[in-house]
A = this chain, B = another copy of it.
Amino acid sequence: MRRTVTMKDVAKAAGVSVMTVSRSFKADASVNAKTRAQIRAVAEELGYVLDSTAANLRSQRSDFVAVTIPSLNNANFADTVSAISEVLSQSGMQVLLGYTNYDIHAEERLIEQLLRRKPEAIVVTGGRHTPRGRKLLEKSGIPVVETWDLPQDPVAHVAGFSNARAMDPLVGHLADTGRRRIAFIGGDADGDTRGVDRRRGFVQAMEARDLDPTRLIPAGQPPISMLQGAQAMAQLLADMPDTEAVVCVSDLSAFGALTECARRGVRVPEDIAIAGFGAYEIAGICVPRITTVNPHPGLIGKRTAELLLMTLRGERSSETIRYEIRPELVIGGSTG
């Protein structure tokens, strides 16, 4: 096996010192333009690739931010990550992504693995962690941002929204359109803390209107799927056939519920209204469109990145900042 090409090899080939090679790879370093071009050409020719492990070790900087999300395959988390990436890239910073499969123990391991790589900062989705996971974040010595949630006792900065309070306008809308027997599907899985919060918010919103908050149908473990929604809807129609509306923990389960209704000839919204959460693409295109709540995932990412840049520049690093994003009710034909 051929040894990997190092700066030394490039320096020798170009007839300069390694230091000059190093400088020719840094945009703001002082090198003669011609020398730089020539060194770059030699490096390209040799197939040289900078070793960032060595660079990071020496400079004690890494130019990347670690981000954890529960699941790869989720349009909303993906939007948040994309927004973070986009804003950070303007400062030459990258994102190192890891996913937890909705498991805080996996999150703990992931946090440790990410911290080993010495990121400049770390972003975690959600505000619930293992004690050790939390301690790792606190002792990390780098800026921490929690997103997609508004934890009671945040580790540090926060850019998120209240999953519980987001339910109130939705229940309000259903109540205002005359529904009284309203059920909730999902939010029973330990790992899906945001789903649990939504169900709690649903119960509170129902109680606040003197409505019965006990029509709760479990939907199983995350990731939330359409199939879960269909099965839960089947159970709901069997157990509580007089239900007038159902709020689902996610648009995906809401769509599953909608298909179950279609298969059984149950009309939506005439026989039963269906609402979801997340403003996923499917909610806006299926027939009828599903009433949902848009948590503005891109905005969460943007605010998160702004917090990161602010703290990384050393501004206001002492105080803990909390950005609250306000979710938006989007009314579709499914509750019409």
Which residues from chain A sit less than 8 Å from chain B, CB to CB? 1-2, 4, 47, 49-54, 56-57, 62, 71-75, 78-79, 81-82, 94, 96-98, 112-113, 115-118, 135-136, 138-141, 225-227, 230, 255-256, 259, 262-263, 281-282, 285-287
Contacts and interface: CB of A to CB of B under 8 A. Distances in A.
Secondary structure class of chain A's binding surface, majority of residues: helix
Nearest to A227: B285
A222 B216 CA distance: 39
This chain's copy number in the assembly = 2
A251 to B, nearest CB: 12
B2 A116 contact: no
Contact of A139 (B47, B54, B255): B47
Contact of A73 (B4, B78, B135): B78
Nearest to A113: B94
A54 B57 contact: yes
Contacts of A116: 49-52
Contacts of A82: 72
B256 A47 contact: no
CB-CB nearest 10 A-B residue pairs: A47-B139, A73-B78, A52-B116, A72-B78, A262-B287, A73-B75, A53-B53, A53-B57, A49-B115, A53-B56
B227 A49 contact: no
A69 to B, nearest CB: 9
Given A47-B138, A52-B116, A226-B285, 20 more contacts: A2-B141, A47-B135, A49-B115, A52-B118, A53-B53, A53-B54, A53-B57, A53-B62, A72-B78, A72-B82, A73-B73, A94-B113, A97-B97, A226-B281, A255-B282, A256-B285, A259-B286, A259-B287, A263-B287, A282-B282
